[in-house]
Structure 1
Amino acid sequence: MFCLKRIFSYNLNWICRQFSASAAARGSQTPVGFIGLGNMGGSMAENLLATGHRVIVYDKVQDSVKLLQDKGAVVGKNPAEVAQQAERIITMLPSSPHVQEVYLGPDGILSAVKGGALLVDCSTIDPAVAIEVSKKASDKAAVFMDAPVSGGVVAAKAASLTFMVGGQETEFDAVKELLLHMGKNVIRCGIVGTGQTAKICNNMLLAISMIGVSEALNLGSRLGLDPKTLSSIMNISTGRCWSSDTYNPVPGVIEGVPSSNNYNGGFGSALMCKDLGLAQTAAINTQTPTPLGSQALQMYRTMVMKGYGLKDFSSVYKYLSTEEECETKN
């Protein structure tokens, strides 16, 4: 009798494991649309492909599309065509106007979206735009959630992003399951728009810390201290932060980050400028004092005007160490 119970229990467990594996396989074959294949989105879509998902992609930049197509992605000719083929769609776009165009335009997602579709926007945009798109998606019987990310290009490639999600609690588990193929942390912040709120607050802090680290390393360098030595001291002292120990702005201190690649790739200064602008708009609307955030916005605006827009935001170190030096000499 004891042996029969063990055999029955073993077989039941085996059946459950097979059912779970089969369900996971079926889930991974459910098409996922991905729109926006830039420095972040391209790597995120690749990670979905790598975990066995069938991915349908779209981007205006054909080279980015070709890269994903070569890795097995299906190509849609516009956002509407992606929406016709996928009930789960992720977007990763540069700004609010891009999101409005992709979702609300004539060939946008909502022109062809299926009822019950799950739409997840990982862009960093104005919370009001996220709310606007959510309402119009609801009119089409689709669910929209905002899920901006933190971690940068390095985390996007390593599938270790943090997602800040705003949207219905009832849909959160489904979104979390999908996003965990591209990240390690998925946190629900509240209703639609709160993910964006978390992101713009985080990026305001990130910009301030990057400027602070760059100023300190530039000062140390001019006083004759090797940046690697100073960085190592910072990283075991009270000045330690992500901008110093993971994404150091000085070329050669950390390999594999944009500063060691002439500030190419990564998160552009123009995009940081956009995010700081969103934070300042929110600060004005809520009468919240953010003096350092305001100063950071002015610095990145100046950098964009001086040609740093497409360079990674850590190029603030280069701006401080070269541009400012030239101005002082003049």
Structure 2
Amino acid sequence: MKVGFIGLGNVGGKLSGSLLRNGVDLTVLDLNEDLMQKFVEKGAKRGKTPAQMMADCDAVITCLPSPAASAAVMEGENGILENMGPGKIWMEMSTTDEAEVTRLGAKVIAAGGAAVDCPVSGGCHRADTGNISIFAGCDRPTFERILPFLTTMGRRILHTGELGSASILKVMTNYLATANLLTCCEALVVSKAAGMDLNTTYEAIKISSGTSFVHETESQVILNGSRDISFTMDLVLKDIGLFQEIADRAKIPLEISPLMIDIFKDGMKRYGDRAQSDDIIRRLEEATGLDIRAPGFPAEMLDDEPEEPGYEVNPKANRLAAE
């Protein structure tokens, strides 16, 4: 199978790198010519337009910063839909709106193709090693067709149900990660104010019921001072905003979500849209005059686990039924 990959940013560049590293026939496209050239030098083909890539490839993956960017690549001049047809697959790996991916997917299916929303979760450092988790929303036959590619890009692959279901779960998990980031920030600042050693505080959280993936990764770059998690405030606001939209459509009166949105709007106003998401702790540092840094923590997260073959994760109820 020939695969096209559109979007070579923080996540897309790492996911497409896993495909190329594992011998997939890959064509790439990005607005940044330098990023494309790096992939061409490693053996990828240079894409010309989304339409040309869909004509030449069996599957085209998009990994773009916003629903609007995906819509432009799909529906715009020389877009993917121009050459969509039977046997072709569109795989949306962007973090996007469930309603939008379902709308575009319906056009793909009407043209005879197959559509999948398959966002990733687990941090850019794991995307780089092929150890990230991937959700996939589509019919079962399509899932089985693309599973070899998904297990090349990720380790744990979850078939979430129909098209759009993966996007709902993705923004939900990003909402939870953001909530956890904000509580970790508050916990570290309060511990410092109470006179606690921050290295000891980090370990206390890590070995306790208070630990989490976010603490064990993002708290480290917060304490280092780099705050570099390869994810920016504008992307956080987009993701938690998408979660709020799902809640609004379902008429769920959330209380914490609107507050989180206000906090990140304030962070962007203070530090800029492209500030690292973990810079949100600066609001508390500035309010208290405290410096939330400690020695011995890394400036960026690296995945030290070896790359392993991916596999499908089966939900517990499905496992019990099979038994």
Give TM-score scaled by structure 2 length. 0.85
Across the aligned residues of Structure 1 and Structure 2, the Cα RMSD in angstroms comes to 1.6
Alignment check: 8 A CA contact 1:125 1:196 kept:
yes
**Cα offsets for 1:61-87 (capped at 9, x unmatched):** 222212212221111122112112111
1:131 offset after TM fit, Å?
0.7
Equivalent pair of 1:249/1:315 in contact (CA under 8 Å): no
Query: For 1:222 and 1:70, how far apart are their aligned partners in 2?
Result: 51
Identity %: 27
For residues 250-294 of structure 1, give each alpha carbon's deviation from its aligned partner in whole angstroms, at most 9, with x where no partner exists. 5455xxxxxx5x334512111110011111111111111321122
> Which of structures 1 and 2 has the bigger CA Rg?
1
1:315 maps onto 2:279 in alignment: yes
2:55 is matched with which residue? 84
Counterpart of 1:184 in structure 2 is: 155
Q: Say if 2:221 and 2:229, in contact at 8 Å, map to a contact too.
A: no
Aligned residue for 1:57, secondary structure, equals strand
Q: Give CA-to-partner distance per residue, 1:151-172, whole Å, 9 cap, x none.
A: 1211111211111111111111
Give me the whole-angstrom Cα distance separating, in 2, the residues matched to 1:44 and 1:216. Answer: 33
Question: Which 5+ residue runs of structure 1 have no aligned equivalent?
Answer: 1-29, 254-259
* In structure 2, distance between residues paired with 1:66 and 1:226: 47
SS of 2:148's equivalent? helix
Q: How does 1:36-51 map to 2 (within 5 A)?
A: 36-51=7-22
Q: Relative contact order: is structure 1 or structure 2 higher (C-alpha 8 Å, sep ≥ 6)?
A: 2
Q: Distance in 2 between matches of 1:226 and 1:251?
A: 15
Please give the secondary structure, in 2, of the residue aligned with 1:181.
Answer: helix
Correspondence list, 1:291-310, <5 A = 291-310=255-274
Structure 1 counterpart of 2:294: none
Structure 2 distance, partners of 1:55, 1:207, is 33
Normalising to structure 1: TM-score of the pair?
0.83
Q: Are 2:5 and 1:34 aligned?
A: yes
Partners of 1:289 and 1:232 in 2: how far apart? 36
**4+ residue runs over 4 A deviation:** none
Change (3 A) 1:37 1:265: farther
1:234 counterpart SS class: helix
Q: C-alpha deviations, 1:148-197, integer Å up to 9, x for none?
A: 11012111112111111111111111222211101111111111110011
Question: Would the aligned equivalents of 1:250 and 1:317 in 2 still touch at CA under 8 Å?
Answer: no
Corresponding position of 2:78: 107
Unaligned runs of 5+ in 2: 290-323
- What is the aligned partner in structure 2 of residue 130 from structure 1? 101
Over residues 199-255 of structure 1, what are the superposed CA-to-partner deviations in whole Å (9 max), with x where a residue is unaligned? 1111111110000001111121233323221011001111101111122255455xx
What amino acid does structure 1 have at the position aligned with 2:268?
A: V
Map of 1:151-170 to 2, 5 A cutoff? 151-170=122-141
Task: Number of aligned residue pairs: give it.
Answer: 289
Task: Name the structure where helix makes up a greater proportion of residues.
Answer: 1
